[in-house]
Amino acid sequence: MYVYVNSGLVRKEDARVSVFDHGFLYGDGIYETMRVYEGVVFMIDEHFARLQRSADLIKLAIVKDANQLKAALYETLAANSLKGAYVRITVSRGYGPIGLDPDLCKEATLVIIAEDMKDYPKSYYEKGIQVIIARTKRNLSEALNPQIKSLNFLNNILAKMEAKEKDAYESLMLNVLGHITEGTISNVFFYRDGVLCTPSTACGILDGITRQVILTLAVREGFTVKEGKFTVEDIAAAQEVFLTNTTMEVMPVNRVDEIRYDVGEVARTLRKAYRNEVRAYVAAIKGRGPSLWGYE
């Protein structure tokens, strides 16, 4: 396995980041996770735009521009002979003396990891997964802007620990006002009385790229969609619940705490529509012919 570190590929066992890197010391950095289908990175421009937004919000200079990042990403995929994969790009503040001042770091650290994408068990999509409402609250937006896809994931990790303690797959977190926000690694949707609902960005969520694709597809499929502020009582009264993110795509939920849900037609319809969208995207990219970034 090869990993891209700063300016080139190295073997996995030789991939190193300094203990003085501020990503390690302070969680000072950003990342994006992408999924690769048939050798094509899905929604790559949208992911890179969000990476740049995160960088701008923490005043971090990424060492490569978008085209250079694309070339590095596809180089990593090619070196590992991957066609179906997930890719994580991490950019930290970089090496520097101990201290919080960002100016201590002269150049950002870049790491690209690409690994084979093993699909989730079919039973998850057929029967759904279990979710809990975590005691851990989502970070205040005024304390940490949720539009920053930050390396500091302790808030999410604490909520994930709660899920594991209850043999659940995922936790949903509330904000301090009691509104549903998102999961530890996912956005949440629920279908209630003919309306597809999802928390708005005003609740303090990361605007997931898969979430946005689903919102667009839902309208296209004829669903009434509402982004808003919702409580646990709202989701308890739903007929269907599902989660979205880059790797799981559309994942049905069969239980939130003690409330059970059927895996219904809304989730099935949107999962099918999403997969069709992926196929169309891949076909369009491949239709352009071979490129600098390794399309075949």
Tokens of 1: 């396995």
- Number of neighbours of residue 56 by Cβ within 10 angstroms: 14
- What is the phi/psi pair of residue 196, to 5°? -90, 120
Catalytic residue among 127, 149, 164, 229: 149
**Amino acid identity, residue 2?**
Y
3-state secondary structure of 290: coil
- Measured between alpha carbons, how far is 39 from 19 in angstroms, rounded to an integer? 34
- Number of neighbours of residue 86 by Cβ within 10 angstroms: 18
3-state secondary structure of 169: coil
Total residues belonging to the chain: 296
- Number of neighbours of residue 8 by Cβ within 10 angstroms: 9
**Amino acid identity, residue 84?**
G
Of the chain, the end-to-end C-alpha distance in Å amounts to 21
* DSSP state at residue 63: S
Task: Collect all residues with Cβ–Cβ distance below 8 Å to 280 and sequence separation of at least 6.
Answer: none
DSSP H helices, 144-264, are 154-165, 209-220, 232-236
- Note if 164 is an active site residue: no
- Measured between alpha carbons, how far is 238 from 241 in angstroms, rounded to an integer? 7
Catalytic positions, written as ranges: 149
